[in-house]
């Protein structure tokens, strides 16, 4: 689990870095502009790191399924070479997804006024600015982003259904431990996938609420990932408790 968590933390850092700095700059600036090259770069990077996050969450769900449903075979099935191969496959799949989204958008003609009704460059707001009929392009976007998110979400739910089916015969203590292990991952999945599916599973249409939903999977979910995972960890809670208890003592020694 920690092997995948470190890559998830890295992807979260890169993912939010494609959106948050520009958002903060626009909030402080009087005139909010972005060049065409920067817009296309932001589009590619956002879908690349977002795709990595989706595939990593799926790989982590499979890791939890093997750990709980096949514990005696865990070290054989989830060997280090296989884990490395899964991370490489996550990056390759995310690059393919992002490259296809980039190709669908970069060839669109924009006649103006080129004003994006969003806080970052995404596919649907850009399709709204195109001078041609974008119905077919929108269908391809749904087939790419929407299908990828839906398939990953179904696999995740299937893995947790199998986990719940397996632990039904466990003793209460073991069942509680298994559920505690998975609860943090389920929270992250719901916080990330529900807004993604709301935006990308429908046809080419934009709503004012899209910006609010986009905040969840671009900023809020990556920001809460470390907090959700670390506070569910017994060792991390023990360390935080020790630091918190020692703080008044250290302050008292410094004052004295």
Mean pLDDT of 118-124: 89
Long-range contacts of 75-78 (CB under 8 A, 24+ apart): none
The tens digit of pLDDT for each residue in 49-61 reads 999 999 999 998 8
The tens digit of pLDDT for each residue in 125-181 reads 888 888 888 888 889 988 888 899 999 999 988 988 888 888 877 777 767 766 766
Could you tell me the residue range of the domain that residue 164 belongs to? 2-255
CA angle in degrees (0–180, nearest 5) for 67-75-52: 65
Total-model pTM:
0.85
The tens digit of pLDDT for each residue in 81-111 reads 999 999 999 999 999 999 999 998 988 888 8
Using CA of residue 206, residue 210, residue 211, residue 217, what is the dihedral sign?
negative
Indicate if the pLDDT at residue 249 is higher than 50: no
For residue 70, the domain's CATH number is 1.20.1070.10
Among 75, 3, 10, 14, which Cα is nearest to 47's?
14
Specify the pLDDT at position 42: 94
Q: Number of folded domains in the chain?
A: 1
Indicate if the pLDDT at residue 112 is higher than 80: no
If one compares 32 and 247, the residue with the highest pLDDT of the two is 32
Indicate if the pLDDT at residue 256 is higher than 60: no
């Amino acid at each position: 689990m920690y092997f995948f968590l470190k890559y998830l933390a890295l992807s979260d850092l890169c993912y939010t870095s494609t959106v948050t700095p520009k958002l903060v700059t626009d909030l402080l600036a009087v005139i909010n502009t972005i060049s065409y090259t920067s817009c296309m770069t932001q589009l590619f990077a956002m879908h690349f790191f977002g795709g990595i996050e989706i595939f990593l969450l799926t790989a982590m769900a499979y890791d939890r399924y093997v750990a709980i449903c096949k514990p005696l075979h865990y070290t054989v099935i989830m060997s280090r070479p296989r884990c490395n191969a899964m991370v490489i496959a996550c990056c390759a799949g995310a690059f393919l997804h992002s490259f296809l989204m980039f190709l669908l958008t970069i060839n669109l003609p924009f006649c103006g006024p080129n004003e994006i009704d969003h806080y970052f460059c995404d596919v649907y707001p850009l399709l709204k600015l195109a001078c041609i009929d974008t119905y077919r392009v929108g269908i391809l976007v749904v087939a790419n982003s929407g299908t990828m998110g839906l398939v990953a979400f179904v696999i995740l739910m299937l893995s947790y259904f199998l986990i719940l089916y397996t632990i039904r015969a466990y003793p209460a203590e073991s069942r509680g431990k298994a559920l505690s292990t998975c609860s943090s991952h389920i929270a992250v999945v719901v916080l990330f996938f529900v807004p993604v599916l709301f935006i990308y599973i429908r046809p080419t249409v934009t709503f004012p609420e899209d910006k609010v939903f986009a905040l969840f999977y671009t900023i809020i979910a990556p920001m809460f990932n470390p907090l959700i995972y670390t506070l569910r960890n017994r060792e991390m809670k023990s360390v935080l408790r020790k630091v918190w208890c020692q703080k008044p003592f250290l302050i008292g020694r410094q004052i004295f």
